[in-house]
Structures are given as C-alpha cells and as structure tokens.
C-alpha cells in the first residue's frame, strides 16, 4: 500500500503525477453524535485522500443514511454519475448491494468492500474485521466473566438483522461459540427500533431481567453500547458484564465509568486509510492486493485505554 511504499517526491513520483488522472469514489454511511462509528473510517479516507491526490487520484465521498435503504441506493446513483474509475463502499444493506455491484461489474469498475464482508461478489479486496471471530471473541470474554449455567442477552437495533452482514455475523459468532465449546449457556434476544425512548427501553429491559433472572451478561453487536447502558439502573449494572464494539467517544466514556466491561476495537481509521491506498495502488500500478485484509481484534478495557 502507499504508506508502506513510502513514496517520495522524485522523478518516478513526478511521472506518476503527470499520467492519467483517476476518479476514486467512496460510498460511506453518515455519522452523528449518536451514531459516530463511521467518523473514524471517514477521517482515514480524508487522510489518504491528501496523500494520493499528488499521484493523480481524486477521491470523492458520497454519504448515505445507514438506516435508510433508499438513501443507500440514491447516493450510489449519484456516485455512478461521477464516472468513477474505482469504488470503495461499505455494503451496509446486503440485499441492495446485489444491485449495486451488478452495475459496477457491468461497467467493469473495480471495487473494494470496506468494514463489511459479503461473500459471492467480485470485489478485489475486503478491508475490515472478521465479524464472526469478533462475535466469538465477545462470547469468550463473556464466558470468562460468568459461571456455569449463566444466561446472556443480545441487544439488536435493527429488525431485519439478516440484511446487515456485519451485525448478523457477529451474532452467529457469539452464539456458535457456546455450542462449539460445549458451554451450557442460554442466550436471549431483544430488538429495539432505536435507543431514543429510554423509558420504553428501560421498561423492556426490566421485564426481560425479571422473567430471566439468570442473565449475567449483555452483548450488543453494534457500536452503540454507550447509549444502551444509560437505560440500565446503576444497581443492575453492578451485576452485569457488558460487552460492545468500537471505541467511539461515548463508548470510551462508558468504559471509563465502569458501565461497560469490554469493547472490541477494529482500528477503523486504518480501514478507511488502507481502502484508499489499496485502490490507488491498483489504479496507478495495477497492483492487486490481498483478497482479505483483516483488521486486528483488540480488547479494550478501562485499564488500557
């Protein structure tokens, strides 16, 4: 990748800069204060954009609402209107991605999947976390924090979870761990449309805990664990192991204040940076990357922040 090559201003670089200009487009989810995960890979994209621009690669980002399928499709149409030479996309919606990549394939436009890995397509690389192993790691941590016969609760924020590959794969990894390791554990599930109505969520959680007093751990396979723990009573939190994903500012604060036990990080800034570097290397030098470039699974605790 470009950062590994350590390209410098020299005759070779000058020749590269004078060659054909390339249009690299990215299709990424929007972020805000309540859903801030995608800020990190976006900043990685911006950093790489500065570096590859000298070599004739212009990067344009198209952002969509990660909770709105129509937004995903419409922004892709705008992206195609920019006539890209290569595309980096986060394939949030599995079903709609079929149509998107079919158009990329038909136009012979190379593309990289960022953060979310979907099998069966012609993307020449995937850059991100192994979501199944990430879920297994969460289960292993939960197992280490519990005693035999404990029960666990998975909190989902999307109704059609099967259309969101990264989340569904984490859940598969989490539940498969207990079966594969022959750990006697019962796993419950709760699904919410959003975390806006804290009173409603608190009531549902209390009902669930009352009906299932053996629950000792809560797992959330997305990046919004900090918003969830605000719905727990402080007394209940003392009895729970709570595990979530990603080092957003809110999640780190929840970790520092002992509301969350562990976070599983994936170096999302590097994912954004590396995706631009990989695609630029391909456009400039026809260098094909590894098929899968996995981010490390890092266990973050209060002590090692």
Token pair 């020749």 in the structure block, residue? 15
- Pick from 264, 170, 40, 220: nearest CA to 229: 220
pLDDT class of 59 with cuts at 50, 70, 90: very high
Query: According to DSSP H, which parts of 82-127 are helical?
Result: 94-106
Q: Where in the chain is the domain with CATH 3.40.50.2300?
A: 2-129+267-295, 131-265
More confident residue, 276 or 233: 276
What is the chain's mean pLDDT, rounded? 91
CATH topology of domain 2-129+267-295: Rossmann fold (3.40.50)
Exposed/middle/buried for residue 47 (C-beta within 10 Å: 0-12, 13-18, 19+): middle
pLDDT in tens, 205-263: 999 999 999 999 999 999 999 999 989 888 888 889 999 999 999 999 999 999 999 99
Residue 195 reports pLDDT greater than 90? no
Residues 6+ apart with CB under 8 A from 84: 23, 24, 25, 60, 109
Query: According to DSSP H, which parts of 125-267 are helical?
Result: 131-144, 165-180, 198-211, 225-229, 234-237, 249-256
Residues 6+ apart with CB under 8 A from 39: 31, 248
CA dist., res. 103 & res. 218, Å (int): 40
Residue 80 reports pLDDT greater than 80? yes
Pick one of 3.40.50.2300, 3.40.640.10, 3.10.580.10, 1.10.10.10 as the CATH number of 131-265. 3.40.50.2300
CA dist., res. 234 & res. 216, Å (int): 15
Residue 35 reports pLDDT greater than 60? yes
pLDDT class of 55 with cuts at 50, 70, 90: very high
Residue 304 reports pLDDT greater than 80? yes
pLDDT in tens, 130-156: 999 999 999 999 999 998 889 999 999
pTM of structure: 0.86
């Amino acid at each position: 990748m470009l950062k590994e090559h350590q390209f410098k201003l020299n005759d070779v670089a000058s020749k590269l800069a004078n060659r054909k200009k390339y249009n690299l487009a990215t299709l990424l989810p929007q972020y805000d204060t309540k859903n801030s995960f995608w800020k990190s890979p976006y900043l990685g994209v911006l950093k790489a954009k500065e570096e590859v621009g000298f070599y004739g690669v212009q990067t344009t980002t198209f952002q969509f609402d990660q909770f709105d399928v129509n937004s995903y499709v419409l922004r892709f149409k705008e992206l195609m209107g920019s006539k890209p030479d290569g595309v980096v996309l986060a394939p949030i919606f599995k079903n709609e991605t079929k149509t998107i990549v079919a158009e990329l394939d038909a136009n012979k436009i190379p593309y990289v999947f960022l953060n979310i890995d979907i099998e069966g397509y012609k993307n020449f690389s995937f850059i991100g976390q192994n979501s199944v192993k990430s879920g297994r790691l969460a289960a292993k941590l939960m197992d280490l924090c519990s005693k035999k016969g404990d029960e666990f609760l998975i909190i989902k924020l999307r109704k059609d979870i099967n259309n969101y590959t990264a989340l569904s794969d984490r859940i598969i990894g989490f539940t498969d761990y207990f079966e594969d390791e022959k750990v006697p554990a019962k796993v419950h599930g709760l699904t919410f449309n959003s975390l806006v109505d804290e009173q409603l969520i608190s009531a549902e959680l209390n009902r669930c805990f009352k009906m299932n007093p053996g629950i000792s751990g809560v797992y959330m396979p997305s990046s919004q664990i900090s918003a969830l723990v605000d719905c727990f009573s402080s007394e209940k939190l003392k009895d729970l192991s709570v595990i979530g994903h990603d080092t957003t500012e809110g999640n780190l604060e929840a970790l520092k204040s002992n509301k969350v036990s562990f976070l599983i990080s994936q170096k999302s800034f590097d994912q954004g940076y590396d995706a631009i570097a990989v695609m630029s290397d391909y456009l400039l030098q026809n260098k094909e990357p590894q098929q899968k470039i996995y981010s490390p699974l890092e266990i973050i605790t209060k002590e090692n922040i």
